[in-house]
Structure 1
Amino acid sequence: MSSPSKPPFILVDGSSYLFRAFHGLPPLTNTKGQDTGAIYGVINMLKSLIKQYNPTHIGVVFDAKGKTFRDDIYPEYKANRPPMPDELRSQIAPLHDIIKAMGLPLIIEDGVEADDVIGTLARQAGEQGIDTLISTGDKDMAQLVNEHVTLINTMNNQLMDVQGVQDKFGIPPELVIDFLALKGDKVDNIPGVPGVGDKSAQGLLNGIGGIEAIYQNLDKIAELDFRGAKTLGKKMAEYEEQARLSYKLATIDVDLNLDYSPQTLTPEQADNDKLADLYSEYEFKRWYTEVTSSQATPAATDSDSQSKETDEEDSAAADIETDYTTILDEATFKQWFERIQLADIVAFDTETTSLDYMEAELVGMSFCMEPGVAAYLPVAHDYPDAPEQLSRDWLLQQLKPWLEDASRIKVGQHLKYDKNVLANYDITLDGIGFDTMLESYVLNSTGSRHDMDTLAQNYLNHRTVHYEEIAGKGAKQLTFNQIELEQAAFYAAEDADITLRLHEVLWPKVAAEDTLKKILQEIEVPLASILARMEQQGVLIDSQQLSQQSQQLATRIMELEKEVHEMAGEAFNLGSTKQLQHILFEKMELPVVKKTPKGAPSTSEEVLQELALDYPLPALIMEYRGLTKLKNTYTDKLPKMINHRTGRVHTSYHQAVTATGRLSSTDPNLQNIPIRNEEGRRVRKAFIAREGYKIVAADYSQIELRIMAHLSGDKGLLDAFAHGKDIHRATASEVFNVAEDDVTDNQRRSAKAINFGLIYGMSAFGLAKQLHVSRQEAQEYMDLYFKRYPGVLEYMDRTREFAKEHGYVETVFGRRLYLPEIKSSNGARRKGAERAAINAPMQGTAADVIKMAMIQVDDWNRSTDNDDVVMIMQVHDELVFEIKQDTLDTNVATIVELMEQAATLSVPLKVEAGNGENWEEAH
């Protein structure tokens, strides 16, 4: 590659960027409902690339509209690709405008693909000894790699040179076209040779040579050492014409007649006025600030220009010189520890051997008290020739008082994990004042992911060192203790440094809104410590019962498979979507309810559910799927998850995943254990209490309906809850105009479907499907409901309007739930956002209430030093405890009282609590 003093010639595969940005990033819209996600993604990648390489010559190349010469020689070329979505098409023209305004040469050639333009320019540059860097995610470009041409994947910053092609494809660059021609390409609909995959293509090419050599030596294929080689010669001969056609289709044309050359493709002065207009229109606020507060600059350095304003975002985004220290001796440690103890706030992070907090061993810690200045304290790097490090036990003994001091304020990124890891060393991390993951989540739960790498890119315009870059990937990935100290130290110190810088950007934004500040400081941050204690506690599992259930499920699954095959009239793989589509929609000719994005009949759960109303086979398939998932996910897996040290299963709770504020959990996922069928409930029976204790489940009753009554202020709903009525019976009485005592079970079921359906923004069509009535009848039910409860309809209309005006809705307690699709030009996405606008305040408020309840119960439990009560799980609107049997009544009464008083609404909160030997009995 070129030296820094002579930047490379860069060719950007704009079409590759465009599709990757559209499909790989969350959709974004501006306040006018215009789609902007792909524009943002492409420009962001361009800016990063330019900042990294500062090229003197560059071209950004896009595919032209219409057919190319490949369509002429093979009309089915790319026929499998669905048409471009309108949401993407609408972003192309503005994206081109921004690129041109940045001063970058924009290239579009009719009749050829971007690949061909790039190939031709790269060849011309190579012939003149100019090194070329092609930025693309397209594997076909590997055929262009040579001593002068390297690929870079901007999504992960990975370079691919000649050796890189060999490592990835198992063949040198000059055989890549042959490789693609042999195995074909489903995306581009290049047919290839049927039955030839990666291994056989590699075997042919490495054993004989390219396609020409192969067809001159078909008799030698049988002598090659790979599976299927003995019979492949016949197939190659049969499909020779198809293989040669595929070779033409896969070949990038490097001999185009172009009106420009590598030397003429130079960046020009950026048109900052034009950029300001475009960034303003599409609401890229940070970029708008950059171009309006800086002098006009050439495009090659445009991404380096930073606002000279002094607001927190711009100052944090500016490049900061780093001064990172590795602490290897006692004197350096004491100097740093003195500074740590004097600091008002310290960014703190741990490095470990595992993401599983119960198994993780501490490898090192990092600290930062001012931006750009950080230290890494290694304690357990044990690769060969690793330098001597200070004793972990001695260091933890020195640090323990500071780590456990509640008055010493720490900030971290996902500090719950660090708290759990330190608990393994008998250290209770306290003084958790701030968490950048939670700050980002409270600020905007849907704005982006909340991991450090993403936040650094979004808020600091800084690309962090990614773990895979120092540890590798896959089965050969190193654990942190195996990584050489020089690399490990920078990575770890950067974590603490970036955490502090993120805090300095995010906290002022959160603190500017009193409600958001309160949610962060009084709910999310305290809750993290409670969740950590619950995770460490874990739950007791009856593995023998689960093993028995697994055996029974295996028998029933085999029976179901046999029944399905008999009903279908043939054996087939129930796990194969393609085979299932054939059986249901071709052989049995069931109606196609819904299609996949590629136009195939859908076999989703929703589709099978609808078909099962009229046909027996989909019902059997649904039962088969449900039991198979239950077996694989729970009855087989849970016993294997029992921790060898504690004898219990330890889930991980996630605070920053759902859009509404609800908690989620993984390993195991406690939220998804089915409770509507007997087999799912049996899994809950395996969650048991230790000896002398009972499982207690305390559940909020109809909390979302109560929140709907509070938010809507509807007099009928408020009255029903205030008088403790059965809300579904009361609704049935109103809708069907009968006395409450005369409401039938069927009417109550219908009213329940209406009550919950409206919460989730269900349409008359959806309600009709649920009640198995006509759409007209369902609409009549809804009209009657709104007539009896007019406040609900007013709330819905009011909420939609608020969402459209502000781009978000709020919970009762001020948590903001952003709706980026609320003004989308796509009707389906806009309607989905409107449904979410109605439901999100209820789900979000319910999430806030149970979090506040957890804090209240934990405060009471810890203040009374009550060892008789242990909170072990949170699932939806339910808290689960282990409570000592002889104190059951008193403690359950207190818990119910605390949960009911956790929040004050216009209607009373009601909690129902049960107990038993296991979770199912308690529920």
Structure 2
Amino acid sequence: MKRHRDDNGLPVSFLVASSADDLAEAVRELRLDESPFLGIDTETTGLDPIRCRVRLVQIAAPERSVLLADLFRIRTAEAREPLRRLLTGKAVKIFQNAAFDLAFLAGEELPVAPPLFDTMLAAQLAACGEDDGSHGLGALAARHLGVDLPKELGRSDWRTASLSSEQLCYAARDAAILLPLREALVALLRSKGLVGTAKLEFDCVFAIAEMHATGMPLSRERFDALRTTLEEEKAAALKVLRAALGALPRQGQLSLFDDGALVNPDSTKQLLEALRLRGGLPLTGTSRSDLEPFADHPAVKALLEYRKIAKAASAFGDAIAAHIHPVTGRLHSHYAQVRTPTGRLACAAPNIQQIPREARFRRCFAAPPGKRLVLADYSQIELRVAAEISGDTRMREAYRSGEDLHRVTASLVTGKAPEDVTKGERQLAKAINFGLIYAMGARGLQRYAQSTFGAAMTGGEAEHFRSRFFDAYSGIAAWHRKEAENPSAEVRTLSGRLRRIPPGEGLPGRLNTPVQGTAADILKEALGRLPAALSGTEARIVASVHDEILLEVPEEHATAAAEILSRTMEDAGARFLASVPVVAEAVVAESWAEK
């Protein structure tokens, strides 16, 4: 066991444990198991927890030297037992970007148990939706502690047989800085009333790490077949589009037999020229909002269809293929907890949340042999949250009595009895409900209904439906008026999550944040509870998509896991919604398409 001290920059002393005896002796000498707080960091050989390894685990406790455990030399489970005890003990474990470290430590069979504090999440949460700069460890140390913490060595080679003294000092400082950084951030969270929301985020980290490490299962056979089909559909749609647009005259055309140049569908300039020349359309742009008023024109219809298919071919086919893991054959997406202003989970590399709802796409995500997917989503969660926040009597009554709110709204705006509402009118009511709780205007409602739900309405109908909606749901109207008159730029979700609304967002932002943010809080509450609730079922959380959670479970435990998932999600909702019931419907399925 080697002792070191570095007084450059942030003064730090540390012990390097390179054997089982070193590790056991260091834990005893530093009395790490007696500390209520432990700053924990890892140095890894790369960013992929499946193909890369943990080189060092650094553990810091107040007023003690930092322990650096070299896992390249401490290899067996028995030798690592002192680390395991610390990571699963009662101390608050302080991490920076805990989901990253948890995924790597799980790969080393070193699980981490609550309680946990994540300095990155705490800082992001305390920013209240505003851009206050980077939330990397170096930036946080400078901003909250006035400490210069160089990060260049983080990209050095951690696979080398002998680590340099500079690397060891760097590793020790990263763990030691977490202790005072937590104190600064706790004070900030308390001053903004965000302690409860921070705990919600910290509890959720374990599920986030599990989703990334486990990955979403993918049937390569189904995916490859669909990708081929999409490319064929894209080529066919392009042929139809070019036929509808015709050809553009070539500059300096010399031959009477030259048919002109084919239109490039990705060129705004060429599209505008063709649509004006061949279609006689008075367009100034080719965005969806520009084109929608002319959606019945053959050329515009062909263009919109081509774009839809081309987007699917690219966003689904190419994006998914680029992220299929070479070892697992799965999609190990990265989830960001507090990157969006409302607290809704963000997803990337690839973005599972953007997979189209069509069955042909979702059936590509299938359980492997011997397993099943368990799928559950919240029923109309944002509308239920709006009913809770606004106190609207009619909306609350509908949910308490188990009525279909979309049918109720269709009945109220059309004047029909609920049993006489048609399928098309119910679809129209979906757009009305989801659009108008956020104060959408008549014109916006008209566009939203068509683009999102395929439901057409005239401008006059949109005005009429809007008026009837707010007459029927007077509590929603009163909530809108109250928020419109509220001079404060600060809004909170029902968990207490705070956001400062930028001036340009106006009323829709003031309404969307507490509703969508509370729905996000409810989902995160469920994710935070699930790892413990699912203990014994061998279930793994593989994905979360807005209001939906997906598990992969051995067949023999699937029914039990479905009951646990549904109950846990509903209990999480009941924590925040006191007057409106929360419903989460779970199914056992072979593929994602069955929900």
Q: How does 1:278-357 map to 2 (within 5 A)?
A: 322-325=10-13, 327=15, 338-339=29-30, 341=32, 342-357=34-49
1:459 aligns with 2:144: yes
Aligned to 1:895, which of 556, 562, 565? 565
Aligned to 1:859, which of 503, 516, 532? 532
Q: Is the 8 A contact 1:541 1:639 kept in 2?
A: no
1:920 aligns with 2:593: yes
1:525 aligns with 2:198: no
Letter in 2 for 1:456: A
In 2, the alpha carbon distance for the partners of 1:685 and 1:767 equals: 32
1:360 equivalent in structure 2: 52
Task: Report deviation, 1:506.
Answer: 0.8
Letter in 2 for 1:535: H
1:404 aligns with 2:87: yes
In 2, the alpha carbon distance for the partners of 1:544 and 1:900 equals: 36
1:877 aligns with 2:547: yes
2:386 equivalent in structure 1: 708
1:749 aligns with 2:434: no
Task: Report deviation, 1:461.
Answer: 4.3
Task: Report deviation, 1:431.
Answer: 4.5
In 1, the alpha carbon distance for the partners of 2:26 and 2:571 equals: 49
Q: How does 1:118-197 map to 2 (within 5 A)?
A: none
Task: Report deviation, 1:428.
Answer: 0.9
Aligned to 2:444, which of 761, 766, 769? 766
Letter in 2 for 1:900: E
In 2, the alpha carbon distance for the partners of 1:406 and 1:392 equals: 20
Aligned to 1:694, which of 367, 372, 383? 372
| Distance verdict in 2 for CA 1:801–1:321, change over 3 Å | farther
In 2, the alpha carbon distance for the partners of 1:494 and 1:579 equals: 57
SS of aligned partner of 2:80: helix
In 2, the alpha carbon distance for the partners of 1:447 and 1:513 equals: 14
In 2, the alpha carbon distance for the partners of 1:465 and 1:687 equals: 43
Letter in 1 for 2:526: A
In 1, the alpha carbon distance for the partners of 2:442 and 2:31 equals: 62
Task: Report deviation, 1:512.
Answer: 4.8
| Distance verdict in 2 for CA 1:369–1:612, change over 3 Å | farther
| Distance verdict in 2 for CA 1:894–1:392, change over 3 Å | closer
1:433 aligns with 2:125: no
Q: Is the 8 A contact 1:697 1:919 kept in 2?
A: yes
Q: Is the 8 A contact 1:323 1:374 kept in 2?
A: no
Aligned to 1:499, which of 178, 190, 193? 178
Letter in 1 for 2:525: M
SS of aligned partner of 2:75: helix
| Distance verdict in 2 for CA 1:400–1:694, change over 3 Å | same
Task: Report deviation, 1:898.
Answer: 3.1
In 1, the alpha carbon distance for the partners of 2:553 and 2:76 equals: 38
In 2, the alpha carbon distance for the partners of 1:733 and 1:658 equals: 36
| Distance verdict in 2 for CA 1:585–1:426, change over 3 Å | farther
2:465 equivalent in structure 1: 781
For each residue in 1:779-803, what CA deviation from the matched residue of structure 2 results, as whole angstroms up to 9, or x when unmatched? 332222111211101111223444x
SS of aligned partner of 1:456: helix
1:541 aligns with 2:541: no
1:656 equivalent in structure 2: 338
Task: Report deviation, 1:726.
Answer: 1.6
In 2, the alpha carbon distance for the partners of 1:889 and 1:425 equals: 31
For each residue in 1:823-850, what CA deviation from the matched residue of structure 2 results, as whole angstroms up to 9, or x when unmatched? x3xxxx1xx2421110111111111112
Q: Is the 8 A contact 1:871 1:879 kept in 2?
A: yes
| Distance verdict in 2 for CA 1:761–1:359, change over 3 Å | farther
Letter in 2 for 1:855: G
In 2, the alpha carbon distance for the partners of 1:628 and 1:873 equals: 25
SS of aligned partner of 1:450: coil
Q: Is the 8 A contact 1:547 1:636 kept in 2?
A: no
Q: Is the 8 A contact 1:437 1:656 kept in 2?
A: no
Task: Report deviation, 1:575.
Answer: 3.3
Letter in 1 for 2:167: A
Task: Report deviation, 1:497.
Answer: 3.7
For each residue in 1:763-818, what CA deviation from the matched residue of structure 2 results, as whole angstroms up to 9, or x when unmatched? 1220133455454542332222111211101111223444x32x221222222222
Letter in 1 for 2:203: P
For each residue in 1:255-280, what CA deviation from the matched residue of structure 2 results, as whole angstroms up to 9, or x when unmatched? xxxxxxxxxxxxxxxxxxxxxxxxxx
SS of aligned partner of 1:391: coil
Letter in 2 for 1:441: Q
In 2, the alpha carbon distance for the partners of 1:567 and 1:702 equals: 41
In 1, the alpha carbon distance for the partners of 2:169 and 2:506 equals: 43
Q: Is the 8 A contact 1:761 1:836 kept in 2?
A: no
Q: How does 1:474-489 map to 2 (within 5 A)?
A: 480-481=158-159, 485=164, 487-489=166-168
In 2, the alpha carbon distance for the partners of 1:588 and 1:337 equals: 81
Q: Is the 8 A contact 2:206 2:531 kept in 1?
A: no
| Distance verdict in 2 for CA 1:701–1:612, change over 3 Å | farther
| Relative contact order higher in (CA < 8 Å, ≥ 6 apart) | 2
| Distance verdict in 2 for CA 1:534–1:583, change over 3 Å | same
Letter in 2 for 1:702: Q
In 2, the alpha carbon distance for the partners of 1:443 and 1:738 equals: 49
SS of aligned partner of 2:264: coil
Task: Report deviation, 1:711.
Answer: 1.1
2:264 equivalent in structure 1: 573
1:616 aligns with 2:301: no
Task: Report deviation, 1:731.
Answer: 1.2
Aligned to 2:482, which of 798, 805, 814? 798
Task: Report deviation, 1:713.
Answer: 1.1
In 2, the alpha carbon distance for the partners of 1:643 and 1:890 equals: 30
Task: Report deviation, 1:457.
Answer: 4.1
Letter in 1 for 2:581: P
Q: Is the 8 A contact 2:39 2:93 kept in 1?
A: yes
Q: Is the 8 A contact 1:411 1:435 kept in 2?
A: yes
For each residue in 1:534-589, what CA deviation from the matched residue of structure 2 results, as whole angstroms up to 9, or x when unmatched? 33222321101111111111222222222223322232433344544544467756
| Distance verdict in 2 for CA 1:365–1:871, change over 3 Å | closer
In 2, the alpha carbon distance for the partners of 1:742 and 1:907 equals: 26
1:556 equivalent in structure 2: 233
SS of aligned partner of 1:903: helix
1:413 aligns with 2:84: no
In 2, the alpha carbon distance for the partners of 1:419 and 1:520 equals: 18
Task: Report deviation, 1:673.
Answer: 0.5
In 1, the alpha carbon distance for the partners of 2:8 and 2:458 equals: 65
1:62 equivalent in structure 2: none
SS of aligned partner of 1:738: coil
SS of aligned partner of 1:690: coil
1:121 equivalent in structure 2: none
| Distance verdict in 2 for CA 1:889–1:353, change over 3 Å | closer
SS of aligned partner of 1:882: strand
1:683 aligns with 2:361: yes
Task: Report deviation, 1:909.
Answer: 1.1
In 1, the alpha carbon distance for the partners of 2:90 and 2:121 equals: 20
Q: How does 1:655-674 map to 2 (within 5 A)?
A: 655-674=337-356
In 2, the alpha carbon distance for the partners of 1:629 and 1:403 equals: 48
- Higher mean C-alpha deviation, range 543-552 or range 684-693: 684-693
Letter in 1 for 2:210: R
TM-score, structure 1 as length reference: 0.56
In 1, the alpha carbon distance for the partners of 2:569 and 2:384 equals: 15
| Distance verdict in 2 for CA 1:738–1:558, change over 3 Å | closer
Letter in 1 for 2:517: G
RMSD between aligned residues: 3.2
Task: Report deviation, 1:339.
Answer: 2.5
In 2, the alpha carbon distance for the partners of 1:532 and 1:888 equals: 22
TM-score, structure 2 as length reference: 0.84
1:732 aligns with 2:415: no
In 1, the alpha carbon distance for the partners of 2:169 and 2:533 equals: 43
Task: Report deviation, 1:326.
Answer: 6.3
| Distance verdict in 2 for CA 1:813–1:777, change over 3 Å | same
In 2, the alpha carbon distance for the partners of 1:616 and 1:392 equals: 69
